[in-house]
Amino acid sequence: MPNNGKICVSVTAQSASEMLEKIRSVAASADVVEIRFDSLEEAEIKPLVDQLPSIAIPILITFRPREQGGYRDLTFADRVKFWESVVGEKLGPGVMVDHEIDIDFALQLDPESVILSMHDFNSSGESMSADAFMELNAATIKIAVAVDDVTDAIHVWNMLRGSNKAAIPIAMGEAGKWTRILGLAHGAPLTYAAPDEGQGTAPGQISAGDLCDVFRVKELDRDTRIFGVVAGDTTYSLSPFMHNAAFKEARLNSVFVPLQVADLDPFIRRMVRPDTCEVELTFGGLSVTNPHKQAMIAYLDEIDPTASAIGAVNTVKVDGNKLIGYNTDAGGFLEPLQRELGDVTGANAVVVGAGGAARACVYALQQAGTNVTLLARDPAKASTFKDEFGISVLGLETENWKLETGRKPDILVNATPTGTRGPNQDESIATADELRNVKLVYDLVYNPLETRLLQEAKRAGAKTLGGLDMLIAQGVKQFEIWTGREAPVNEMRSAIEKRLQ
Ligand code: NAP
Encoded amino acid at 35, one letter: I
- Looking at per-residue confidence, does 23 or 88 come out higher? 23
Show Cβ contacts of residue 294 under 8 Å, excluding neighbours closer than 6 positions: 311, 312, 313, 356
CA atoms within 13 A on the CB side of 130: 18
Its pTM stands at 0.93
Give the SS3 label for residue 350. strand
Q: Are 115 and 96 in contact (CB under 8 A)?
A: yes
d(CA 299, CA 325): 9
For 355, list phi and psi in degrees, rounded to 5: -100, -160
Q: How far is the CA of 390 from the centre of ligand 1 (A)?
A: 21
Determine the Cα–Cα distance for residues 121 and 173; give it in Å rounded to an integer: 10
* 271 close to ligand 1 (CB < 6 Angstrom): no
Residue to substitute in 350, 377, 443, 445 for testing ligand 1 pocket (most ligand atoms within 8 angstroms of CB): 377
Helix (H) or strand (E) holding 172: strand 166-172
Lowest mean pLDDT among 86-100, 184-198, 259-273, 356-370: 86-100
Indicate whether 205 pLDDT > 70. Answer: yes
| Helix (H/G/I), strand (E/B), else coil: 264 | helix
Q: Is the CB of 445 under 6 A from ligand 1?
A: yes
| Cα 423 from chain centroid (whole Å) | 21
Fill in the DSSP letter of residue 269: I
Q: How far apart are CA 78 and CA 42, in angstroms?
A: 11
Q: Which is more confident, 104 or 421?
A: 421
Asked if 254 and 284 count as a contact pair (C-beta separation under 8 A), the reply is yes
Spacing, Cα 467 to ligand 1 middle (Å):
12
474 CB less than 6 Å from ligand 1? yes
Confidence at 306, pLDDT banded by 50, 70, 90:
very high
The answer to which of 159-163, 186-190, 284-288, 481-485 has the lowest mean pLDDT is 159-163
Q: What value does the CA radius of gyration of the chain take, rounded to a whole number of Å?
A: 26
Residue 288 Cα to ligand 1 midpoint, Å, equals 14
pLDDT at 89: 53
What span, in angstroms and rounded, lies between the C-alpha atoms of 368 and 391? 15
161-177: per-residue pLDDT in tens? 777 789 999 999 999 99
User: Which atom of ligand 1 approaches the CA of 332 most closely?
Assistant: 40
CA gap 396, 344 in Å, rounded = 24
Convert the pLDDT of each residue in 122-149 to its tens digit.
877 777 777 777 777 788 999 999 999 9
Ligand 1 atom 41: residue of nearest CA: 467
Choosing from 313, 396, 416 the residue with most ligand 1 atoms within 8 A of its CB, the one to mutate for a pocket test is 416
pLDDT, greater one: 204 or 367: 367
Look at ligand 1, atom 28, and give the residue with the nearest C-alpha.
416
Q: What does the pLDDT read at residue 88?
A: 62
Sign of the Cα pseudo-torsion (475, 184, 3, 30, in order): negative
Q: Is 242 in the pocket of ligand 1 (CB under 6 A)?
A: no
- Phi then psi for residue 414, to 5 deg, are -95, 110
Alpha-carbon gap, residue 243 to 476, rounded angstroms? 9
389-445 pLDDT tens trace: 999 999 998 777 776 667 889 999 999 999 998 898 999 999 999 999 999 999 999
How many Å apart are CA 325 and CA 294, to the nearest integer?
11
Residue 457 alpha carbon to ligand 1 centre in Å: 19
Mean pLDDT of 82-91: 74
Distance CA 106, CA 262 (A): 43
The number of the ligand 1 atom at minimal distance from the alpha carbon of 289 is 25
Residues facing 414 on adjacent strands: 352, 443
From 487, 454, 455, 453, select the one nearest 471 (Cα to Cα).
487
Instruction: Indicate if ligand 1 lies below 6 Å from the C-beta of 157.
Output: no
CB-based burial label for 244 (10 Å; 0-12, 13-18, 19+): buried
Q: Is 355 in the pocket of ligand 1 (CB under 6 A)?
A: yes
Q: What is the pLDDT of residues 106-129, one digit of tens each?
A: 667 788 888 999 888 887 777 777
Ligand 1 centre distance from Cα of residue 357 (Å): 7
Estimate to the nearest angstrom the gap between the alpha carbon of 466 and the chain centroid.
Answer: 22
The reply to whether ligand 1 has any atom less than 6 angstroms from the CB of 377 is: yes
Is 184's C-beta closer than 6 angstroms to any atom of ligand 1? no
Which backbone phi and psi does 313 adopt, to 5 degrees? Answer: -120, 130
The string over 257-288, giving b where at least 16 C-beta atoms fall within 10 Å of a residue's C-beta and e elsewhere, is: bbbbbbebebbbeebbbeeebebebebbbbbb
Q: Parallel, antiparallel, or unpaired for β 315-319 and 322-326?
A: antiparallel
- Per the prediction, the chain carries an average pLDDT of 92
CA 369 to chain centroid: 37
448 lines ligand 1 (CB under 6 A): no
Q: What local confidence, expressed as pLDDT, does residue 338 receive?
A: 97
Q: Taking each helix axis from N to C terminus, what angle separates 239-249 and 489-500, rounded to the nearest 10 degrees?
A: 140
pLDDT digits (tens, 9 = 90+) for 334-349: 999 999 999 999 999 9
163 by Cβ neighbours in 10 Å (0-12 / 13-18 / 19+) ranks as middle
* Cα 175 to Cα 177: distance, rounded to the nearest angstrom: 6
Residue 415 CB–ligand 1 contact under 6 Å: yes
Residue nearest to atom 32 of ligand 1 (CA): 417
The response to whether residue 353 sits with its C-beta less than 6 Å from ligand 1 reads yes
Tell me if 466 CB under 6 Å of ligand 1: no
- Residues 462-497: pLDDT tens digits? 999 999 999 999 999 999 999 999 999 999 999 999
Mean pLDDT (whole number) for 23-31: 94
Q: How many Å lie between the centroid of ligand 1 and the Cα of residue 403?
A: 22
Q: What is the pLDDT of residue 121?
A: 81
> Of 444, 447, 479, which is best to mutate to test ligand 1, by the most ligand atoms within 8 angstroms of its C-beta?
444
- Ligand 1 pocket member 471 (CB < 6 A): yes
Give catalytic residues, as residue numbers. Answer: 293
H or E element, residue 412: strand 411-414
Q: Report d(CA 373, CA 351) in Å as an integer.
A: 6
Ligand 1, atom 36, lies closest to the CA of: 444
Please report the atom of ligand 1 found closest to the CA of residue 358.
26
Task: In the chain, count H helices and then E strands.
Answer: 16, 21
Sheet holding 348-352, edge to edge: 392-394, 371-375, 348-352, 411-414, 440-443, 463-465
How far does the centroid of ligand 1 lie from the alpha carbon of residue 359, in Å?
10
Q: pLDDT band at residue 105, thresholds of 50, 70 and 90? A: low
Nearest-atom index, ligand 1, CA of 469 = 41
- State mean pLDDT over 245-261: 98
Residue pair 412/387 in contact (Cβ under 8 Å)? The answer is no
Give 351 Cα–ligand 1 centroid separation in angstroms: 11
Q: Contact, 413 vs 350, CB < 8 A?
A: yes
**In angstroms, what is the span from residue 352 Cα to ligand 1's centroid?**
9
